[in-house]
Chains A and B, each alone.
Chain A
Amino acid sequence: MSFLRLEHVHKRFGSTIAVQDFNLEVQMGEFVSLLGPSGCGKTTVLRIIAGFEQPTAGTVHLQDQDITHQPPNRRRMGMVFQHYALFPNMTAADNIGFGLRVTGVRREEIRQRVAALLNLVQMPDLGNRYPHQLSGGQQQRVALARALAIQPQVLLLDEPLSALDAQIRVELRGEIRRIQQQLGITTIYVTHDQEEAFSLSDRIVVMNHGCIEQVGTPFEIYNYPATSFVARFVGAVNQLRCEVLDPHRGQLRCGNQLVTMPGPLALQTGAIATIMIRPEALQLGERGGANRLAGQVCAITFRGPLVRVQLHLDNSESLVVDTLNTRQLQLPQIGDQQLISFAPESVWLVNGGG
């Protein structure tokens, strides 16, 4: 039985369709990310779960209870906003205690719980500061503690790190995951940053234009993308147009070169298909894997741990290869002819067919 369940949720704003037929089941204690480009409807889904928006159609269930029309202040869902949204007239401690205060918890108990939460977010001595006396990262920690104070059934976070510096972002990301696992709290996390989604989530929901493109573990999303959109959104990917030679044995022709992939393919001989390969699945030179392609090196880019080599194939398509940056690495020169190799298993067809 799922803990939180969204069924056929639609949302339109006037003529804009923000969310379309959204279905999702979240287990208790699970960390689920909504990932997608800006404007794809992530925030809207989160706000529907929180109760700030009513879906145009569809239902939201929490523990098998229909909460679609329950007002937000009865849902016990902690929310963390992109720009912290701390109450400027209250200290950090009063912010954290606010949810307890409005529900009539005794003063002494509030004080204790607030102290424990300040410890949890590693700010034991800053409870008396006002929001304007705290850095962005500290403010977001307070916001997190405030959302956790009400012991929410679900924790909702809307791009909580996107207003912070890169370094703080990575640090706080780790903290969020640590706290989430420590408390075993069911969490929905909205982000447009695939790295964030990968490093935090048990499962990722990739969205585009208000629709779900794919739901899966980070491993599934990255290695078995269901659509070309997902493949491109969660990492770099090479796309090559090929002609099917033998659908049973998975043989295709790319320009004048042969590419093999796992068969059988649901395509006719002679059909045109687009195949995809991740750059890190390609290797420079004649290495493992049955596939070989030759091309001319046209660019080499250093990206820290990786080096990206770009090649032109003979049919004017281009291909990038990511290779691990090591001291022993022998790089080709620009203009060189270069052979690359890859395994048939690393190749897949766009949208399962094309």
Chain B
Amino acid sequence: MAQVTRRPSAWAWVWLVIWAVFSWLPLVATLDFSLRARKGMLSLKAYQNIFADPGFYNSLAFSFQMALLTIVISIFLVVPTAYWVHLRLRRARPLVEFVTLLPFVVPAVVIAFGLIRWYCCPPFAFVSSPLLLVAGYVVLSLPYMYRAADTGLRAIDVCTLTEAAQSLGASNLQTFFLVILPNLRASILSGAFLTFAIVMGEFTLSSLLAWPAFGPYMQYVGVFKAYESAALAIISFALTWLVMLLMLWLVRGWAAARAVTAPR
């Protein structure tokens, strides 16, 4: 593509400023507020309070574990399903897409009460198991995970690659793990990241099922401690960015590993 270098027009600057104000101002304001826990001066007191609270670490660790579990389970459920739909059930694709969008339509509260009612009593008494929470999270992450896998599958010729692998003697499992999955790494990673972000901030399910997750903790801090709550928002924002960078770095690492072996 030909690169046209010219001065950005005045309008471009205006939009840029509006965008910056819109997306950064609340953050800057929050940051500023979080530093004013002591009257009349800037301090890190709110942050110290947060970091001194064992509830912070516990809820963070709990949600982190739940997020990892959710990601693993949802990859194992969604990716093979999406592959199968691409390969054998092309006509069912709109239906499957509709089903995966249901979590957007059904409010989390409804899902939570559904889970509680169904799994409260024998023979399905799972309410006290964290797996029920994970199951709920898997449902919530469905649209993101499925979309991500679907995008990745659309980018390759699933049917022909599968047939090529089969004609070379590969079993279904070998085809999936050696040919299909490696080509979906980047998209699965993006789905995993979205899932991670959702689980870390999720409030309704975890609070209704009474788990000490990060979402309810943030809510609790927000109700009782104004400065700390602002600090917590900044911390979780930073954490999110950190995880995102980590994932970018992972993808880059794979790409680099490829490039190293490529030219002799």
Contact = CB atoms under 8 A, between A and B. Distances in A.
Contacts of B68: none
B264 A87 contact: no
B263 interface: yes
Interface string B170-208: 110010001100110000000000000000000000000
A113 to B, nearest CB: 13
B170 to A, nearest CB: 4
B166 A128 contact: no
Nearest to B157: A85
B178 A102 contact: yes
B262 interface: yes
A50 B261 CA distance: 34
Contacts of B163: 50, 52, 72, 79, 81, 85
A98 B163 CA distance: 13
Contacts of A71: 166
Contacts of A103: 169
Given A83-B157, A102-B178, A147 B262 contact: no
A253 interface: no
B171 A98 contact: no
Contacts of B178: 98, 101-102
Contacts of A128: 261-264
Given A85-B160, A88-B156, A88-B183, A102 B263 contact: no
Contacts of B264: 125, 128
Given A81-B164, A91-B262, A73 B169 contact: yes
A129 interface: yes
B168 A85 contact: no
A22 interface: no
A71 B169 CA distance: 10
B167 A98 contact: no
A98 B168 contact: yes
B164 A72 contact: no
A99 B168 contact: yes
Contact of A129 (B170, B182, B263): B263
A308 interface: no
B185 to A, nearest CB: 8
B225 interface: no
A146 interface: yes
B170 A50 contact: no
- Chain A contact residues: over half helix, strand or loop, or mixed? loop
A302 B65 CA distance: 77
A176 to B, nearest CB: 17
A146 B170 CA distance: 13
A72 to B, nearest CB: 5
Contacts of A149: 168
Interface string A72-93: 1111111101010111110100
Contacts of A146: 164, 168
Contacts of A98: 165, 168, 170, 178
Interface string A280-313: 0000000000000000000000000000000000
B258 interface: yes
A150 B261 contact: no
A85 B258 contact: no
A76 B261 contact: no
Contacts of B210: none
A85 B163 CA distance: 9
A130 interface: yes
Nearest to B168: A99
B179 A72 contact: no
- Chain B contact residues: over half helix, strand or loop, or mixed? helix
B161 A87 contact: yes
Interface string B232-264: 000000000000000000000000001001111
A133 interface: yes
Given A89-B183, A130-B262, A102 B160 contact: no
A157 to B, nearest CB: 12
A335 to B, nearest CB: 53
A89 B182 contact: yes
A87 B182 CA distance: 10
Contacts of B161: 85, 87
Nearest to B163: A52
A133 B263 CA distance: 9
Contacts of B171: 73, 102
Contacts of B262: 91, 128-130, 133
B183 A99 contact: no
A77 to B, nearest CB: 6
A167 B12 CA distance: 49
A75 B169 CA distance: 8
A151 to B, nearest CB: 11
Interface string A43-87: 000000010100000000000000000011111111101010111
A81 B262 CA distance: 24
A156 B121 CA distance: 59
Contacts of B168: 73, 78, 98-99, 102, 146-147, 149-150
29 contacts: A50-B167, A52-B163, A72-B163, A73-B166, A73-B168, A73-B170, A78-B167, A79-B163, A79-B167, A83-B157, A83-B160, A85-B160, A85-B163, A85-B164, A87-B165, A89-B179, A91-B261, A98-B168, A98-B178, A99-B170, A101-B178, A102-B169, A102-B170, A102-B178, A128-B263, A146-B164, A146-B168, A147-B167, A150-B169
Interface of A: 50, 52, 71-79, 81, 83, 85-89, 91, 98-99, 101-103, 125, 128-130, 133, 146-147, 149-150, 156
- 4 A-B pairs with the lowest CB-CB distances in the bound complex, closest first: A99-B168, A89-B182, A79-B167, A85-B164
